[in-house]
Amino acid sequence: MKKNRTHKTLSNKNRGFSLIEVLIAVAVFSIGILAVGSMQLSTSRNNTTGNDMTGATMLAREKIEELKNLDRADLDSADGNDTVGLYTREWVTDPVAGSSTSWKLIVTVKWTRRGPEREVELQSITRGNGT
């Protein structure tokens, strides 16, 4: 019994990839990976900036609440500043014009990381604590 064997020969279209095709594919892949890496770096920087901004805002809110809990007599001399880690915090209390019982509270938090100095400023009005 004779077996019928047929040998398939590859045509020019089915012989595989040429070196130029492989190099182009690697180049396209590399550009895509570089774009993803750049995006990762940018995202990381933005997260750091957001964390710094949140920290500064929380420090300012903390000081505002602390100043609101002072007695009215102590609000007149409550101006000051301090440093908390990366941040420099300054606060000012001013009597509100036309009112003998209200004070304007201004808290500014500044910091520098990778570039220009940044700041957060919060303002509030209080009558102080007590009579």
96-119 pLDDT, tens per residue? 888 878 899 999 999 998 889 999
Q: d(Cα 123, Cα 7) in Å, to the nearest integer?
A: 86
Q: Tell me the H-state helices in the chain.
A: 19-68, 72-75
Identify the CA nearest to 58 among candidates 93, 77, 84: 84
* 108, 123 contact by CB (below 8 A): no
pLDDT of residue 5: 63
**Bridge-based pairing state of the strands 103-112 and 117-126:** antiparallel
> Whole-model pTM?
0.70
pLDDT at 6: 61
Residues in the chain with pLDDT < 70? 1-15, 130-131
- For the beta carbon of residue 61, count every other beta carbon within 10 angstroms: 15
Q: What is the pLDDT of residues 61-73, one digit of tens each?
A: 999 999 999 888 8
What is the reported pLDDT for 74?
A: 84
